[in-house]
Amino acid sequence: MKKLKPKEIVKELDKYIIGQKDAKKSVAVALRNRWRRRQVPEDLRDEIAPKNIILIGPTGVGKTEIARRLANLADSPFYKVEASKFTEVGYVGRDVESMIRDLVELTVHDLKARQQEAVQEKAFGIAEERLLDLLLPKSGNEKENNPDGGAEPRLELVNSSSSSKLSTREKLRKMLRKGKLDSRFVDIDVADKSFPMVEIFSNSGIEEMGINMKDMMGSLMPKNTKKRKLKVPEAMKILTQEEAAHLVDMEKVTSDAVEMVEQSGIIFLDEIDKIAGKASHGPDVSKEGVQRDLLPIVEGSSVPTKYGTVKTDHILFMASGAFHVSKPSDLIPELQGRFPIRVELTSLGKDEFKRILTEPKNALELQYKELLKTEGIDLSFTENAIARIASIAVDVNNRTENIGARRLHTLMERLLEELLFEAPDVDEKKIVVDADFVDKQLMDIVKDEDLSRYIL
């Protein structure tokens, strides 16, 4: 983070997101402030609260993409959730605390996978020894020498037979590494992971209680294993995974995950405008009720999870919404105060669409070129074709529903549908998409407004 200055953060975001300078600047400052907070004296550190952000703008302008890329850039725990999925206390459904539990769960799995990757080499070595034991089972004499089956092996005099056994083992090891034993089968015991699903309705959430019950019952009951006959390469893979899991210190993984979530976690609350507005009447879930349940989490509270208590005081919350019907001031005043930074994202026009098609690292033009390259086809787009696609996207957005840059995905798929279908059998391997090609494929649909509403 020391190297990630705000300008560098914006530069990295520019590689994937076109325009929206104000939003990029705000999130870059928010991310840099997290590093700055860790450098201040410890007695002041806990007093500095994160400056939560509301991104305001229509769908498809890059709100979610900014948050996701920001989390990847900082290697921070990230979780996206729709605010409209939550229900207030007293209703069966997702409670707001579940987003913290889900974020911790994702972080634990991610850190566990990284730790297993780090010990992969050591795990492979242990798995290789286990596999050689299966391929070269102990002789009857050895079993008799240690009839009690204790963990401590008895001392053994080195003689010609034991040295020949060692040489046989080394020969097998060389054959295994060269792949000469890949067609052989071995019997291994594999843990049976199936477990009956138990769901309990309680005020702490269905999903959390289900997980705890599963873990509790799993520790009480003996672990089931089943014997499987597998080819050597597949057995090697399973044994390596088992050994890697044994080598990982799960206590450290969970404590590190909780600390990462508390200090650098990012939660993206999408569709926050759906819970803005006056309280509804009748038996329905009230919007204001959901906001009031959300408030303590955003303000800072302690949430119980299966990995321990997680404090939300320094988690960065980024909210987004179109705010077509409601406005940010329709949120309850306490919640408004917890989102001090508000940034309006601009709608995308023809120039932005042209740049989106060609400039980002994951540009749509590049994606389709690479897809068709797998069939041996060299696809290229002329400048007037890109301009034509951009203008059609703007036109369709204006006439139907404005879904921003997502319209380009629909248009590109429709434009190249025939080519993608016929690609394996096409004789012409160099194809140029120009404005005439675009008009031929799309104009009939664009002109028919009723048809374009369904297809584009």
Across 186-190, 261-265, 429-433, least confident range: 186-190
Contact status, residue 285 vs residue 86, Cβ threshold 8 Å? no
Q: What is the pLDDT of residue 88?
A: 60
Q: What is the pLDDT of residue 1?
A: 65
Average pLDDT over every residue of 141-148: 46
Instruction: Judge whether residue 162 has pLDDT over 60.
Output: no
Q: What is the pLDDT of residue 354?
A: 93
pLDDT tens figures, 63-78: 988 988 988 888 889 9
Contact status, residue 332 vs residue 288, Cβ threshold 8 Å? yes
Across 189-203, 226-240, 245-259, least confident range: 189-203
Sign (positive/negative) of CA torsion 387, 392, 395, 398?
negative
When pLDDT is cut at 50, 70 and 90, the band that residue 95 belongs to is confident
When pLDDT is cut at 50, 70 and 90, the band that residue 200 belongs to is very low
Q: How far apart are CA 386 and CA 434, in angstroms?
A: 8
Instruction: Judge whether residue 105 has pLDDT over 80.
Output: yes
Average pLDDT over every residue of 217-225: 60
Q: What is the pLDDT of residue 91?
A: 62
- Determine the CATH number of domain 350-451: 1.10.8.60
Q: Has this prediction a pTM greater than 0.75?
A: yes
Average pLDDT over every residue of 109-136: 89
Residue boundaries of the structural domains of the chain:
6-113+257-344, 133-144+160-247, 350-451
- What are the backbone dihedrals phi and psi of residue 283, each rounded to the nearest 5 degrees, phi first? -80, -5
Instruction: Judge whether residue 250 has pLDDT over 50.
Output: yes
pLDDT tens figures, 7-22: 999 999 999 999 899 9
pLDDT tens figures, 263-319: 989 999 998 988 887 655 555 567 888 888 899 999 999 999 999 999 999 999 999
Instruction: Judge whether residue 386 has pLDDT over 80.
Output: yes
Q: How far apart are CA 242 and CA 191, in angstroms?
A: 9
Across 89-98, 222-231, 370-379, 429-438, least confident range: 89-98
Q: What is the pLDDT of residue 222?
A: 58
Contact status, residue 364 vs residue 357, Cβ threshold 8 Å? yes
CATH architecture, domain 6-113+257-344: 3-Layer(aba) Sandwich (3.40)
Buried b (16+ CB within 10 A) or exposed e, 279-314: eeeeeeebbbbbbbbbbebbeeeebebebeebbbeb
pLDDT tens figures, 440-449: 888 888 877 7
Q: What is the pLDDT of residue 277?
A: 72
